[in-house]
Structure 1
Amino acid sequence: MSFVDPELVSDCVHCGFCLPTCPTYALWGEEMDSPRGRIQLMLQQLEGEPLTPSVAGHFDACLGCMACVTACPSGVRYDTLIEQTRVGVEERHTRALPERALRGLVFGLFPHPRRLAALKLPLWLYQRLGSPLLDRLPGRLSTLSALAPPVRRAVPLPARLPALGTRRAVVGMLTGCVQRAFFPDVNAATARVLAAEGCDVVIPPGQGCCGALSVHSGRRDEAARFARGIVDTFADAGIDALVVNAAGCGSSLKEIGALLADDPVYAPRAAWLAGHVADFSELLGRLGPVAPRHPLPVTVAYHDACHLAHAQGVRSQPRELLRGIPGLVLREIADPELCCGSAGVWNVLNPEPAAELGARKAGNVLATGADWLVTANPGCLMQIGAGVRAAGGTIRTAHTAQVLDASIRGVRLPR
């Protein structure tokens, strides 16, 4: 498996610090479904062992949550290793027909905002009226129905939203795919908060997918095509930063320079853009608050999205923003390092183990007694919301931007 860097593989000393943080090891207790076990499989591939369906399955089972990267005392770049490995799996492994069909559906749909938007009307009808046919869908497809949030109306956003008061920065805003289609209110709240904090917000209407789902699944060429579109959209837009409000997209865009490093046309602009990507809370942490906060008497449990906390190292900033709201009580969730089971489209491809992880996370969330669950990723909002419903519990969910927006405007959080 020549596409895996042998030096990175050799960094692992098999200490086992990664084991307690790995969701699949927590579920199954199998060495080959732990980070160090998968690294051992990578080494065997480098030595010429065949890529069997069983070995490919262990690589597929990884959520890519990067909790092991945070836990590793040796600095092993498991995130790079698993992405390199998945490129090889995609190139060399032939999946069974049902698996190929499901992946074709997933990657033919989720990275395409217009296709997702076209699903909103039939999904709305199903949510309003129900359908015995859809209720009998096979497990993986019924998972999509269970995860889907209530369909919301599209919220038109201007191509440029001017700063309120003194302009402090000009920022681009990624609207995303799932975020744009199913959480338009999050994008609207993000834009309003950025403007209130002194940013001109540039929101190109024709922007496409950033390529995060593709790059995390080993579909490197597809990811590069999407990434070039993002570079064309934002690299020459006259912005000081590109703000992202979805954790998985942000972590991928911060690596867009590496993804396009071998492209002589795009490499310089991609490298520039990668260095100017910032999570929503990260940018606001740098700027510091200027917009007055009104009291918001709510209790919230904050969930660390894996690709924000582990991949980007952004943990304190969203908590500081929430603590800056008068009247808000912030509660921590037990076992915060363990993934909720969303992991991009992992919960669609692996619904049963994802439901187990979702149930664990939902139980820990409900144990806080909070009124609201707050996080910074649409997949986490859907996954944990589904877990709470399956447990028979109730909790309202919101993005960090929505909480700040409500406080700045002096209104209640949207239900």
Structure 2
Amino acid sequence: MAQHSAHAPARPAGQVVPLLDLDRMVLRRCVHCGLCLDFCPTYRLLGNELDSPRGRIWQVRALADGRIQPDDPHLRTHIGLCLDCRACETACPSGVQYGQIVEAARAVIPPASWRERLLRRLILGTIFPSPPLLELVGFGLRLYQKSGLQGLLRRSGLLRLLPGRLADLEAMLPPLQGGVFRRPLPPTIPAQGMRRARVALITGCVAAQFFNETNWATARVLARNGCEVVVPAAQRCCGALHLHSGEREVARALARQNIAAFEATGADYYVINAAGCGSTLKEYGHLLAHDPAWAERARAFSQRVRDVTELLAQLPLEPPRAALRCRVTYQDACHLAHGQRIREQPRQLLQAIPGLELVEMRGADECCGSAGIYNVVHYDVAVRLLEQKIAAIAATGAEIVAAANPGCLIQIAYGLRRQGLPLQVAHPVDLLDRAYAQEKASS
């Protein structure tokens, strides 16, 4: 890494740019060994060293030293093309915390245009922090689908007249669960049998609107396994999308609201069924490390966060007694496998279902291209990664693809529709819930 970019003009040295809340030792831990390269999806796909973890760390070091500026267009391009999948963290023998590095860089890189600034303010700064606005957007999308308007527009071909990538983005919209009016979870769901734990369920923002029935399934499965489930009304979006997009202060504000809301529940664990959200929730301690009023509370909060598959395996799970005869392949969500080091627990839960055959796919822990809003802002790269993933899925002969993250479920379902493959997508708790329902029906 001797130069900034093969096509970048030389830039005069500028004032040192401090990377927000990033210890320089995090940058220095990288020894440039290159073991991460083959694990990086964008490097494998694009073949550019500057689109590898090693190359991006070099650029962030140059940013920290003032050798390049935050508004450098090449820096914005290469940092923006990162999926933040953290596969490099799994591969790294030096323990480089790459996620912290790329998120710190994005926090100081300004929007490329007034349009991007406006969209960030509208979507990330206004809609996602507001439950009423999220509810309104979710209602509108469900009405669009359930009324038949979506089908009519798709059959008419009118969607092809939309500018830019809007038609592709509309095609990405998954079939939304439930009816037009979302069925909210009750404040408390009692444990079945002897209570083993009191848990507070994190319902999410996208998950609550797109995968509401999966949230219900999560609550039922937890209750079936002896958990009293409480659903705090004051919870907000976790801030993961904001953190990955550089909107760190909004993420901090959301973190404080969530910490206060969940502390009040008195729960033993805070449970989430979305891998990307769970990874961020477990890092609230880092996010608020320099806030004297919240640092200790944030660390205590993060210590209680559990992915639902992690907690069920820990309890441990009470296996269903009814069979669910199907062939399933499992996709490792990046922020579950790499961000949280949770790999075996989801597989253990699936294998505990009688009649279910679990078939491993090639590259199960390789990114599908969803990566938060990556498939929206970098559609072409995301689709190339998705095509590789769909080929690996098809080779398994599975009927169902299981994944423990809403973004993965949306992306993979889109890829299956594009290829005309009639596979189902489901969260592992959806499959457990089906097995428990059959058990109840047969008894």
Inter-partner Cα distance in structure 2 for 1:384 and 1:85: 29
The more displaced of 231-240 and 386-395 is 386-395
Can you list the C-alpha shifts for 1:150-205, whole angstroms capped at 9, x where unaligned?
Answer: 13322331100000000000000011011100111100100000000000000123
Residue 402 in 1 paired to residue 427 in 2? no
Q: Which residue of 2 aligns with 1:49?
A: 67
**5+ unaligned residues in a row in structure 1: which ranges?**
none
Residue 200 in 1 paired to residue 220 in 2? no
Shift of 1:381: 0.5
Q: Report 1:228-267 matches (<5 A).
A: 228-267=256-295
Residue 373 in 1 paired to residue 405 in 2? no
Inter-partner Cα distance in structure 2 for 1:94 and 1:167: 50
The more displaced of 72-81 and 246-255 is 72-81
Residue 285 in 1 paired to residue 303 in 2? no
Q: Percent identity?
A: 45
Q: Report 1:291-370 matches (<5 A).
A: 292-370=320-398
Aligned-partner SS, 2:279: helix
Inter-partner Cα distance in structure 2 for 1:184 and 1:208: 15
Q: Which residue of 2 aligns with 1:127?
A: 150
Aligned-partner SS, 1:62: coil
Contact 2:332 2:366 in 1 (8 A): no
Inter-partner Cα distance in structure 1 for 2:325 and 2:401: 14
Residue 156 in 1 paired to residue 184 in 2? yes
Shift of 1:102: 4.5
Contact 1:363 1:388 in 2 (8 A): no
C-alpha RMSD of the superposition = 1.8
Contact 2:359 2:398 in 1 (8 A): yes
Which amino acid letter does the alignment assign opposite residue 95 of structure 1? A
Q: Which residue of 2 aligns with 1:2?
A: 18
Q: Which residue of 1 aligns with 2:13?
A: none
Q: Which residue of 1 aligns with 2:86?
A: 66
Inter-partner Cα distance in structure 1 for 2:422 and 2:267: 41
The more displaced of 352-361 and 120-129 is 120-129
The more displaced of 73-82 and 160-169 is 73-82
Aligned-partner SS, 1:389: helix
Aligned-partner SS, 1:397: strand
Contact 2:201 2:229 in 1 (8 A): yes
Contact 2:36 2:88 in 1 (8 A): yes
Shift of 1:94: 4.2
The more displaced of 343-352 and 144-153 is 144-153
Which amino acid letter does the alignment assign opposite residue 279 of structure 1? D
Can you list the C-alpha shifts for 1:49-82, whole angstroms capped at 9, x where unaligned?
Answer: 2221111111111110000000111111111111
Can you list the C-alpha shifts for 1:78-116, whole angstroms capped at 9, x where unaligned?
Answer: 111111111111xxx341244445444542445553243
Shift of 1:333: 1.3
> CA 1:7–1:181 in structure 2 vs 1: closer, same or farther (change >3 Å)?
same
The more displaced of 9-18 and 259-268 is 259-268
The more displaced of 28-37 and 337-346 is 337-346
Inter-partner Cα distance in structure 1 for 2:351 and 2:119: 42
Contact 2:188 2:231 in 1 (8 A): yes
The structure that has the greater radius of gyration is: 2
> CA 1:110–1:387 in structure 2 vs 1: closer, same or farther (change >3 Å)?
farther
The more displaced of 187-196 and 15-24 is 15-24
Which amino acid letter does the alignment assign opposite residue 318 of structure 1? P
Which amino acid letter does the alignment assign opposite residue 173 of structure 2? A
Q: Which residue of 1 aligns with 2:112?
A: 95
> How many pairs are equivalent?
409
> CA 1:325–1:12 in structure 2 vs 1: closer, same or farther (change >3 Å)?
same
Q: Which residue of 2 aligns with 1:272?
A: 300
Aligned-partner SS, 1:167: coil
Inter-partner Cα distance in structure 2 for 1:134 and 1:176: 30
Shift of 1:398: 0.5
TM-score by length of 2: 0.88
> CA 1:18–1:106 in structure 2 vs 1: closer, same or farther (change >3 Å)?
farther
Larger relative contact order (Cα-Cα within 8 Å, sequence gap ≥ 6): 1
Contact 1:359 1:388 in 2 (8 A): no
Inter-partner Cα distance in structure 1 for 2:45 and 2:414: 19
Q: Report 1:184-223 matches (<5 A).
A: 184-223=212-251
Contact 1:244 1:250 in 2 (8 A): yes
Inter-partner Cα distance in structure 2 for 1:292 and 1:323: 11
Q: Which residue of 1 aligns with 2:38?
A: 20
